[in-house]
Amino acid sequence: MFRSCGTTPTVGCNNKRLAMKNELWRLARKPPHGWPEPEDFRWCEESVPEPAVNQILTRTLYLSLDPYQWGRRRGGAELPGDVCHGRTVSQVVASRLSDYSEGDFVFNTNGWQQYGLSGENIDVFGYMLPRKIDPDQAPISTAIGVMGMLGLTAYSGLILQCAPQPGETVVVSAASGGVGQVVAQLGRLYGCRVVAIAGSDKKLAYLKALGVDTAVSHRSENFADELTQACPDGCDIYFENVGGPVFDAVLPLLNPGARISLCGLISQYGNVDGGDPRAQWRARGAKTFERQQVQVHDLFVGNFVADYQDRFLQEMGAYVRSGEVGYLEDKRDGLQLAPRTFAQMLRGDTFGKTLMVVSQDPTLAG
C-alpha cells in the first residue's frame, strides 16, 4: 500500500495559487529490496511553491521514467522525503526570471510532481540545465525522449564513443527501449549493419519496421545461437543496456578492436548481493576484452552536454523532421500511476520511451 502525507503550507502564496494543490510522490524509504515496491513511495498533496527572484514556477506536462532513477534511489543519491527525481517537460505558470515568460515550454527536472521550481538555487543534478522548447521544431514530449537527454545518450555512446564506420556490425540490447531505438536508427543512418535485441514479437516487428537488419529475441530458448547466426561477421560495436545472459551471448562475437558503450545494466538493477554491477560486468568480460583488445567506454551523458548538446539537437532535429528517425512513446495518463508504471518499465513491460502524462499538453488541444 502506498503511503500518504498531508499538506505543507507555503508562506506568501499568490491568492490564486494558494487554493491550488501540488500532487507529488516522495521517496518513503531507502528501497530495501531489489525491485520497486509500493511502500517505497509516498503520495502527497502540498501547497504550490512560489517562485523567488530568478526562478520560474512550472506545471509538469510530461514526466520521464528511466532506469537510472532506480539506481539513484537504491544508491542513496535520493533520500527518504525527497521528491522523486525525474526529467520533465513543463510549462511556465509564473516567472521571475528574465528570458522566461508565462506559457513558455521548458525542459526541466520537476520530478514526480505536478508543479516545480526552476532557476537560481534549484538543483539541476549537475548537468540537466533547463532550456526552452520550441513546439514548432518537434512535439514537446520529445524533449525527454529522442530530442532530449535520452537521444543525446544514444548519440554520445554510439557516434562519439564508438565512432561507427560503414559496413560494421552494431549490436544493440534493449533495442526497443527509449535509448535503444535511437541507437539502432543512428547505426543504420551511419551505414552499419544493425542487429537489434528485444523481447516480444511486437517489439521485434517494430524494430524491423525501423529498418534494422535483424531482430533477435533474448527470450528465445536458442537466443545465443540465433544471435551468432545474425552476426556472421562478428560484432564491431555493442551498445550495452542490459548485461546478464545477453552480454554472455555477445562476448564471443566481439571482433578484435571492437568497441562497447556501457550505458546501463537493467538486468542487474535488482541485485541484492551488494556488489558493483559494473565491476562485476567488467570482470565477466575481462579475458575477452584483453584478448580482443576491446575498447570499453563507460557512458555518462552529463559528460557530453556542454560540448555536444547543440550539435546533437541540430542533427537529430533534422532526422526527426525528415522522418529518417522515428520514435515510439509509451504514454501513461496520471501521475498517481507513476510507481506502478516505473516498476513495469524496469521489468521490460513497457514499449518505447516510457513517460507519464501529468497535465494536458496545450500543443495537442483541438
Tell me if 321 is assigned to some domain: no
pTM of this structure: 0.89
Range of the structural domain that residue 176 is part of = 149-302
Q: What's the pLDDT score for residue 7? A: 44
Q: What's the pLDDT score for residue 180? A: 95
In this structure, the answer to whether residues 126 and 180 fall within a common structural domain is: no
Q: Closest Cα partner for 341 from 333, 116, 125, 273? A: 333
Which cell is 269 given? Answer: 538493477
In this structure, the answer to whether residues 136 and 154 fall within a common structural domain is: no
Tell me if 120 is assigned to some domain: yes
C-alpha dihedral sign at 355, 360, 364, 366: positive
pLDDT in tens, the chain (366 residues): 566 665 443 334 455 655 689 999 999 999 988 899 999 999 999 999 999 999 999 999 999 999 999 999 998 999 999 999 999 999 999 999 999 999 999 999 999 999 999 999 999 998 999 999 999 989 999 999 999 999 999 999 999 999 999 999 999 999 999 999 999 999 999 999 999 999 999 999 999 999 999 999 999 999 999 999 999 999 999 999 999 999 999 999 999 999 999 999 887 766 656 778 899 999 999 999 999 999 999 999 999 999 999 999 999 999 999 999 999 999 999 999 999 999 999 988 999 999 999 999 999 975
Which CATH number do you get for residue 257? 3.40.50.720
Tell me if 315 is assigned to some domain: no
End-to-end CA distance of the chain: 38
Q: What's the pLDDT score for residue 20? A: 85
Tell me if 308 is assigned to some domain: no
In this structure, the answer to whether residues 219 and 190 fall within a common structural domain is: yes
Buried b / exposed e across 169-206, counting CB within 10 Å, b at 16+?
bbbbbbbbbbbbbbbbbbbbbbebbbbbbbbeeebbeb
Q: Cα–Cα distance between 179 and 158 in angstroms, integer?
A: 11
Give the number of domains in the chain. Answer: 2
Q: What's the pLDDT score for residue 15? A: 55
In this structure, the answer to whether residues 154 and 291 fall within a common structural domain is: yes
In this structure, the answer to whether residues 296 and 162 fall within a common structural domain is: yes
Q: Cα–Cα distance between 171 and 122 in angstroms, integer?
A: 39
Tell me if 210 is assigned to some domain: yes
Q: What's the pLDDT score for residue 196? A: 98
